[in-house]
Chains A and B, each alone.
Chain A
Amino acid sequence: MKMDPMHQFAVEPLSAHPLLQIAGHPIYFTNQALWMFIVVGAISLFMVMATSRRSLVPGRMQSMAEISYEFVANMIGTASGEDGLRFFPFVFTIFMFVLFSNFLGLLPGSFTVTSQIAVTFGLAAFIILLVIVTGFIHHGIGFLRLFVPKAPFILLLLLVPIEIISFMTRPISLSVRLFANMLAGHTMLKVFASFVIMLGGAGGVLSLLSVAPFALIVAITALELLVAFLQAYVFAILTCIYLGEALHLHDHH
Chain B
Amino acid sequence: MELAAAKMIGAGLACIALVGAGIGIGNVFGSYLEGALRNPGAAATQTTNLLLGFALCEATGLFGLVIALIILFT
Interface residues of A (CB under 8 A from B): 75, 78-79, 173, 176-177, 180-181, 183-184, 230-231, 233-234, 237-238
A176 touches B52 (CB 8 A): no
Main secondary structure of the interface of B (DSSP, over half): helix
Partner of B55, one of A78, A183, A184, A231: A231
B51 CB-CB contact with A under 8 Å: yes
Contact segment of B6-14, B28-36, B60-68: B60-68
- CB contacts (< 8 Å) of B51 on chain A: these are 230, 233-234, 237
B66 touches A78 (CB 8 A): no
Interface string of B30-60 (1 = CB under 8 A from A): 0000000000000000001001101100110
Q: Report how far A189 CA is from B59 CA in the complex, Å.
A: 19
Residue with the greatest number of chain B CB neighbours at <10 A, chosen from A173, A176, A181, A234: A234
Chain B residue with minimal CB distance to A174? B59
Interface size class on chain B is 10 to 19
Main secondary structure of the interface of A (DSSP, over half): helix
Q: Report how far A14 CA is from B59 CA in the complex, Å.
A: 33
Q: Report how far A237 CA is from B65 CA in the complex, Å.
A: 24
Q: Given A230-B55, A231-B55, A234-B55, answer yes or no on A176-B48 (Cβ-Cβ < 8 Å).
A: no
Q: Which 9 A-B pairs have the closest CB atoms?
A: A180-B62, A234-B55, A177-B59, A180-B66, A180-B65, A184-B65, A176-B66, A173-B59, A181-B62
Residue with the greatest number of chain B CB neighbours at <10 A, chosen from A75, A176, A180, A183: A180
Q: Report how far A75 CA is from B59 CA in the complex, Å.
A: 21
The smallest beta-carbon distance between B7 and chain A, in angstroms, is 16
Q: Given A180-B65, A180-B66, A184-B65, answer yes or no on A237-B52 (Cβ-Cβ < 8 Å).
A: yes
- CB contacts (< 8 Å) of A75 on chain B: these are 48
